[in-house]
Amino acid sequence: MLLLLAFVPFWNMQFNGVWEIFDQGHPLNPIDLFKDYLYTWDNYANGVGDSSFIRLSSIPWVALQALLLYVGLQPNISQRILLIAFTALAGWGIYFFVYNLFIFKDLEQRRISAFLAGVFYILNPFSLYWITLGVYPVLSIPLLPFLLLFITKALTAYEYDKHKAINYIFMTSFTTIFAFTVNLEILLINLFFLVLYILYFLITNISKALLYIKVLILLILITLLVNLYWISPLIYSQLSYSQVSTIFQQYTKESINRAYAISSRPLNFLQVLRLHVYPFRHDLFEVSNPLYPIQLWVTSPITVLTGLVILSISVLCILFRSKDKYIQFFIFALIIFIGLSGGTSPPLGLIYKWLLQNMIFFRIFSDPSKFMYVTSFVMATLLGICSGEIYKYVSFFNKIPPKLSILLIFSLILINVYPVLSGNMCGALKTTTVPQYYLEFKDWITGQGNNFRLLQLPISPLGFSSYYEWTPFPEYGISISVFHKIVRLPVPVFSSPYQPASLTLIDLVESSQGHLGKVLSPWSIKYIIISDDMINPIDWKKYNSTHYKTLMERQLDISFVGTFGCLSIYENKAFKDNWVYASSVYVILPSASDLKSYQYFVEHTQNLQPTEVVFLSEEAVRKIRDIWNNAIEIDELIGNQLKERSNDTSKLHGNVQLFYKQIDPTKYVVNVKAQEPFILVLNQHYDLGWRAKIVDESLNPPHFMVNFYANGWYITKSGNCEIVIYYEPQTSLNVGISISSIMILLITIYSFIYFLSRMRKMAF
């Protein structure tokens, strides 16, 4: 029955096409995505690359997608299979949880309680959204009941059967491989809920606390080893150069502003969904229209009324089982997570604000409604238990048919989620196919190599997602880059306002005086894409791309290539492969953000190839005397001397020859022939994890930022030398994957042996 209910949200959804507007996390080629996930550096992120620590826990999930494609299933079909499977798993998981954890007087009551809990968990709109209709399916939701049950069984079984307890420990650790995946916010919410439960369990069993702590230590140790593939790079990077802390710092102001905006929506906790509905205060976005103006059914009086009744039935569970310690915890958790899902609104608003401002890991919770996903699990459990108690109570008095009460509760759930039954939970759910011209462009750009970047214009304003006219309702937008996540071009693309370098490049494009190609060269931009199918998210009107096309036509070093549907392609004629290059010519800028001086210098200096020059800020090289003494200040170059000798650029040409080979996204081997000291440049986003090592030498050269964003090292060795550039955290990932794989193999062997021994005992 639960398996059939899992098909309900999908029965009227089309299965043709390659992409669903609501299923943005499933790329057209999961195999390529899986290969990228095996590295600690994401070459495509932000257009200039970025560390991928946050996404490493998703390797098992991405591997599952890749496996289905490898066996011959198309992405859209495999996606549907996974969504239905996860929905069914959610229902079966909570059925298994209620059936095995709680005590019932008879088998029929046990089955009824477990069944209704499973029904509500499958069809609960918030759970269903995150499992099926979100940016990516979240396995944490269907696996959370298993985790809680396995932890409880491991603690309670250790007193009388250590082998059974160890088996439950192994089952818990193995489950975390998929439960602690995909979304960092969900991972932290999971951990918070589990820690809260464990603390409550220890307090209520204080006499056996020491015994349980031993079990927990073993459980935590094995879980850490199983998940070492993503934990080890995080720990290593944090200890080495506080990289993880830096990542979380960037969420501070944005998280607080966004939490205020979302919390001020006129929705009670039963209406809080991940989708943003109805107008709310726009402190962050400063527009007169709601960001996601979808009139959802969740605001209807019927949904609110039935939701309140369901909540009331759930809370009534405490009257029937006031001494049940599990019920007490779930009531407590219900209050906590309902309060947190309200964000900065009462009653826990002050606590939420304090956590945002003072707890570093809490700063990513910019959307407090995500706490509702635990609330749905808690409510499903309480609703199921209370339904069983009502059934037993009605059966005792025998005045009305007992099964009628269960039928009424079942009907109440169906009425509450009736749009789910019709498939119209979030408005239009029609299949959306990515336009063919995107795929044609991908085929063309694949043949152009992979040592360059693209710039897509126009770029949406900061704070808004990219919108396209070919989506079912363009005002919903797309929260991730089509080029990066869906079509997955083989080269990085500047396309999002959330990419810091993109806003910098927009300023350079708008103010260019005719040599835009040279100006963009340090960013390794070879092609510019002007999209005619994008919509301005502020007024929801189609962008006028004529402005950008006119700008391109005025450039002396930019030429028109052709069109692919709504995509107009322009080539940078000044492009030169500078993904890795070396130069003995250094130009010092007053600061790392001094773009005006840089642009004037590049556009007014004849015979200048920017890829033969390294641009530095004073802060970057002040401590390196040799660079400082031999560098040229840009003010000198754009002053009177340059005007008098405009054709004399001899001192702007170095004497360094270089050949490099990319081994993988985290490693480059460079062979250099130089007659003097030079600066080696890697055009990836500056990160403390990048290292350059001269072969046969023990010391690493100084590392600093160059060209506004890239990595630079000062090399004093002349003559022929081999240099290895590598991203240091990759070693910790490789070690972590090896240890995790060994642990998973041992767990599998132990569980198999334990299962055989149990079968033999049952046979005799």
3-state secondary structure 95-125: HHHHHHHCCCCCHHHHHHHHHHHHHHHHHCH
Q: Is residue 419 within 8 Å of 472, Cβ to Cβ?
A: no
Tens digits of residue pLDDT in 245-268: 666 665 555 556 666 665 554 333
Higher pLDDT, 599 or 452: 452
Predicted pLDDT at 654: 64
The first and second tokens of residue 269, run together, are 């906790």
- pLDDT score recorded for residue 18: 33
Is it true that domain 436-572 has CATH number 1.10.1060?
no
Indicate if the pLDDT at residue 298 is higher than 70: no
Q: Output the average pLDDT for the chain.
A: 80
pLDDT > 60? residue 293: no
Kindly report which listed range (50-59, 275-284, 347-356, 524-533) carries the lowest average pLDDT score: 275-284
Residue the block writes with tokens 């009462």: 346
Most confident of 144-148, 416-420, 695-699: 144-148
462-493 residue pLDDT tens: 666 677 888 765 555 565 678 877 788 899 99
- 3-state secondary structure at position 545: coil
Q: How confident is the model at residue 169 (pLDDT cuts 50, 70, 90)?
A: very high
Whether residue 293 contacts residue 475, with contact meaning beta carbons closer than 8 Å, is answered with yes
pLDDT at 496: 73
The predicted pLDDT at position 504 comes to 74
Q: Would you say residue 307 has pLDDT above 50?
A: yes
Confidence of residue 168 (pLDDT cuts 50, 70, 90): very high
Average pLDDT, integer, range 527-547: 87
**Distance (Å, rounded) from C-alpha 98 to C-alpha 121?**
12
pLDDT value at residue 725: 97
Strand order across the 525-531 sheet: 493-494, 453-457, 525-531, 567-572, 558-564
Q: How confident is the model at residue 68 (pLDDT cuts 50, 70, 90)?
A: confident
Q: Is 591 exposed, middle or buried (0-12, 13-18, 19+ CB in 10 A)?
A: exposed
Among the residue ranges 38-42, 433-437, 467-471, 508-512, the one predicted with the least confidence is 467-471
pLDDT of 499 reads 63
- pLDDT above 60 (res 628): yes
Q: Give the pLDDT confidence score for residue 133 in this predicted structure.
A: 52
Q: Locate CATH 3.40.50 in the chain.
A: 436-572
Sign of the CA dihedral with 68 first, then 73, 75, and 78 last: negative
Bridge-based pairing state of the strands 586-589 and 467-468: unpaired
pLDDT, mean of residues 68-97: 83
Compare 498 and 600 and report the one with higher pLDDT: 600
Kindly tell me if the per-residue pLDDT of 642 is higher than 50: no
Give Rg (Cα) of the chain: 29
The yes-or-no verdict on residue 344 having pLDDT over 80 is no
- pLDDT band of residue 123 (cuts 50, 70, 90) is confident
- Do 458 and 545 form a contact (C-beta atoms < 8 A)? yes
Model pLDDT, residue 246: 63
Q: Residue 228: what pLDDT?
A: 94
Q: How far apart are CA 331 and CA 338, in angstroms?
A: 11
Does the pLDDT at position 283 exceed 90? Answer: no
Q: What percent of the chain has pLDDT over 90?
A: 34
pLDDT at 21 over 80: no
Q: Does 301 or 436 have the greater pLDDT score? A: 436
Residue 630 has pLDDT above 90, yes or no: no
Tell me the pTM.
0.83
Quick check: 611 pLDDT over 60? yes
Contact 5, 116 (CB under 8 A): no
Name the nearest CA neighbour of 368 among 256, 253, 277, 250.
256
111's torsion region: left (phi>0), alpha (psi -120 to 50) or beta? Answer: alpha
User: What is the tens place of the pLDDT at every residue in 698-749?
Assistant: 788 999 999 888 999 999 888 899 999 999 999 999 999 999 999 999 999 9
Distance CA 680, CA 695 (A): 14
Query: What local confidence, expressed as pLDDT, does residue 135 receive?
Result: 47
- Residue 279: band (very low, low, confident or very high) from pLDDT cuts 50, 70, 90: very low
Could you give phi then psi for residue 745, rounded to 5 degrees? -65, -45
Of the candidate ranges 531-535, 599-603, 712-716, the one whose mean pLDDT is the lowest? 599-603
Encoded tokens for 417: 């989620």
Averaged pLDDT, 8-22: 44
Q: Write the pLDDT tens digit of every residue in 399-420.
A: 667 778 888 888 888 887 776 6
